[in-house]
């Protein structure tokens, strides 16, 4: 069965610091990869996704992620965080077939202090 690991459960950064959140998945086949974000009091929303092509994916709000197939990783990065990036971040994967359920990691809570 697929699984997704997010190694950092809580991250605290100061504004302007760089961010990298780890995500590793276990599945041997072709996958689609997603990062979702949940801001306080808001719905889950998509930050970015990878399904083919350039393994460096750019998303909204200056976020990017790199798919490294050999490492089964899809780490999320942002060069300079803002206070408004305080949120919970979820990595998710699904199989690149007709089977569409998302398997989520347990999430990383990011707190950015001003």
Residues lying near another protein in the complex (CB under 8 A): 32, 34, 36, 43-46, 49, 51-52, 90, 92, 94-107
| Nearest approach, Cβ of residue 114 and another protein (Å) | 27
| Nearest approach, Cβ of residue 45 and another protein (Å) | 7
Nearer to another protein, 39 or 83 (CB): 39
Q: Which pairing describes strands 3-5 and 24-26: parallel, antiparallel, or unpaired?
A: antiparallel
| Nearest approach, Cβ of residue 16 and another protein (Å) | 29
| Nearest approach, Cβ of residue 68 and another protein (Å) | 19
Nearer to another protein, 17 or 38 (CB): 38
Nearer to another protein, 9 or 71 (CB): 9
Q: Which pairing describes strands 44-50 and 56-58: parallel, antiparallel, or unpaired?
A: unpaired
Q: How far apart are CA 72 and CA 41, in angstroms?
A: 32
Q: Which helix (H) or strand (E) holds 11?
A: strand 10-14
């Amino acid at each position: 069965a697929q699984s997704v690991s997010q190694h950092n459960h809580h991250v605290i950064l100061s504004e302007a610091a760089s961010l990298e959140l780890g995500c590793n998945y276990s599945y041997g086949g072709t996958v689609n990869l997603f990062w979702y974000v949940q801001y306080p009091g808001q719905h889950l929303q998509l930050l970015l996704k990878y399904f083919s092509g350039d393994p460096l994916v750019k998303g909204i709000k200056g976020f990017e992620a790199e798919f490294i197939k050999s490492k089964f990783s899809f780490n999320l990065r942002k060069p300079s965080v803002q206070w408004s990036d305080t949120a919970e971040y979820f990595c998710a994967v699904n199989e690149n077939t007709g089977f569409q359920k998302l398997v989520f990691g347990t999430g990383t809570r990011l707190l950015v202090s001003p």
